Amino acid sequence: MLNSAWIQRQLRLHEEFKRAIGPRLEQQRTQAAFGSDLVHQVQAERARFDAFAGEQDIKKALGELDPSKAVYRERDEAEVAFERNRWAKTALVRCSHDLGLGRVRLQWFDDLNAQDPHDYRWHLGRYGAPPWKTWFHDGPCLGLYSAYQPDVIHIKTSDDPRQLVFVVAHEARHAWQDRQYGMPGVRTAAHFGGNHESEKRWSEEDADAYAQGVLTEFGHN
């Protein structure tokens, strides 16, 4: 996925974005709610969200775009194929019951596509900021969980049911870790003597092990 053609395409899309939203940037700045909650969210996953809140953000993101960067956009459930929804939701229901998470919902996302700049322009021309968020991520990302949005699991679309089940279970386990041991950072101090690397390693290994178990149970390993 991360080849030079892909990067060139992303850069072209960014230029389009910039042209499309340039005249409206001032207005965008006043709409601070757009994307601001997610700006906090990704810090927990070593990632950075840039939600087109202003020109500076875009320039920064463009300047920093390199092969390890990915650009994502939220997708509405209606944009996701029925089968994908079914796999992911089945996994989520099973995991949230198993882990006692309570009500948790899925938020789909995917790579930016050629249609997105047009959508973006359309929304800006009518209502201002689009109802979905776009962000940059430090490297490919299949799913996200954040303590700042404890009732949401972000998942990237995929045709592979094993990936969907695994990623939902992995992120659900992060939700469980937060409920059980507190947020990253707080957890570091309380359980890992301030050693963030140990905490990170533990939380990823624990989430992978749990997800592998769920995958086995689903019969798709």
Q: Which residues bind Zn ion (CB under 5 A)?
A: 204, 207
The distance of closest approach from Cβ of residue 132 to Zn ion in the complex, given in angstroms and rounded to an integer, is 23
Is 164 or 207 the residue whose CB approaches Zn ion more closely? 207
- Helix, strand, coil percentages (3-state) for the chain, rounded to 5, are 60, 10, 30
The distance of closest approach from Cβ of residue 40 to Zn ion in the complex, given in angstroms and rounded to an integer, is 17
What is d(CA 192, CA 203) in angstroms, rounded to the nearest whole number? Answer: 11
The distance of closest approach from Cβ of residue 136 to Zn ion in the complex, given in angstroms and rounded to an integer, is 18
C-beta of residue 145 within 8 angstroms of C-beta of residue 193 = no
Is 160 or 204 the residue whose CB approaches Zn ion more closely? 204
What is d(CA 52, CA 174) in angstroms, rounded to the nearest whole number? Answer: 28
Q: What is the dihedral of CA 221, 162, 88, 139, to 10 degrees?
A: 130
Is 151 or 204 the residue whose CB approaches Zn ion more closely? 204
The distance of closest approach from Cβ of residue 94 to Zn ion in the complex, given in angstroms and rounded to an integer, is 18
Burial class (CB in 10 A: 0-12, 13-18, 19+), 33: exposed
The distance of closest approach from Cβ of residue 16 to Zn ion in the complex, given in angstroms and rounded to an integer, is 32
SS3 145: strand
Is 45 or 116 the residue whose CB approaches Zn ion more closely? 45
Is 13 or 101 the residue whose CB approaches Zn ion more closely? 101
What is d(CA 166, CA 199) in angstroms, rounded to the nearest whole number? Answer: 21
**Amino acid identity at 64:** E
